[in-house]
Structures are given as structure tokens and as C-alpha cells.
Amino acid sequence: MTTEDNDQAAQFRQEGHVAFVVGYTGATGKELVKALSTTSLFKRVVLLGRRKTNVTEKLGNEFEEIIVDFEHLENHEDVFTGCDVGFNCLGTTRSKGGKEGFLRVDHDYVIKTAEFAKAKGCKRFLHVSSQGSDKDSWFLYTKTKGLVEEELQNLQFEHLAIFRPGFLLCEREETRIGEKIAACCFSPCICCCLKYSAMPTETLGLAMVRRACRPNGTVEIIDNPTIHYIAT
């Protein structure tokens, strides 16, 4: 980080911002939480999830875990009170939850979270989308990602950062056969063109934290090379 970046981070830290994170148990979410912990930029970080974990035992006192029911988020809207920054890492796969399960998590839960957060005063929202997202796509995954991006923009946050990483490189607790096959087939390309084709989840998490304290415009669409640049 440059001296200017350090000064910006120090000023942000002094302002006493409060953040919430959804999707913190996933591969990207875990790295985001690590980055939030090591940078200590927020006065308070609220982790919103569907089940209790032991994640806060290894984190600072500024972290709090709250269990919510995303199917009935209206019953938990007060958890967003005081949070001026939101991080969304929610996501699943069609193979895991079927078409309905995928749409429920990747669309419904995301939009509900954003709507309630905005209503409670959230000003900055940082969202993990995907490379190739397109609301007019024939493919369910990229079409859903594109539709969510459009709906988030319609909410008119003071700052909306949409991250479009390429192939995510990480260690998963669950085995995804498709990803393993893709990794084997494209590993030479990934090694040679990491900046353009792939993204370590650690890099993505750090870039999200850095962009939270230094937004660039009202709406940002941040592609794979730019994510790498922000994190370096």
C-alpha cells in the first residue's frame, strides 16, 4: 500500500465504521473475514448467518455473530441498524441446491439483504458477482448474476462495488467435481494468465476490504485484473 492508501485507511479507521457480512462461511467469505480481522478497519463487524459457528473465537472483540433466517429476513431487519457498510459473499451452486435453491440464495437472499440494509442506512455495499455476468444471457448462472447486479444498482447506494472475479482459486471443504475438472484442463492458462483468468479468494477478500474504505465512484464494476491491482 502507498502512503496515501495508509493515510486513507487510518482516517477510515478513526471514523468508526460498522460493517455486516453475509456469506462469511463460504470460501470467499472466510478470506474476507480474515482480511477484516488483520486490517482492523472497522469498529464493529456483524457476521450474519444461518447457523452458529466458532469463527468469532479466533477473531477480535469487534466481531459479533448473529443468526438470521434469510427466508424471513423481515424478522431480523434490526440487525442492520448502524451498519454503514455491507459485504455480500452469498452464493451456492445449482448442483447443490437445484435451480430453485440457487435462485433463492444467489438472487432472493442477496436482494433482500441489500434492501433491508439500505432501509436501515447502509451507504456502501460490496457484492461478489462473477466474470461474464449478463442479465440477457441464456445461461442461468450468468443471467442471475447479471439480474442481481442490475437490481442492486436500482437500490442507489451511495457506493456500490460489484466484483467480477474469474475462476476462484481456493481450498473448499466440499468437493466440486466440475471445478476440479476445470482446474485440471485450464491450469496452464491459469498459471500463465492469473491476472485475467483466475482469482485467489484471499486476493478477492483483501480487495473488498480496501475498496470499502476507498470507494471510487457511485457504481463500480470491478473486473479480475482490477481486483488484483486493488489488492497489491
At residue 171, the pLDDT reads 64
At residue 61, the pLDDT reads 92
Catalytic residue among 30, 109, 118, 145: 145
Low-confidence ranges of the chain (pLDDT < 70): 1-2, 171-196
Domains and CATH numbers, the chain: 3-231 (3.40.50.720)
Distance CA 213, CA 58 (A): 24
Contacts of 154 (CB under 8 A, 6+ apart): none
SS3 66: strand
DSSP-derived secondary structure letter, 80: G
At residue 97, the pLDDT reads 74
Q: Cell triple for residue 96?
A: 447443490
Give the strand pairing for 85-88 and 159-164: unpaired
At residue 178, the pLDDT reads 42
Catalytic residue among 120, 141, 143, 196: 141
At residue 194, the pLDDT reads 56
145 is catalytic: yes
DSSP-derived secondary structure letter, 13: H
135 is catalytic: no
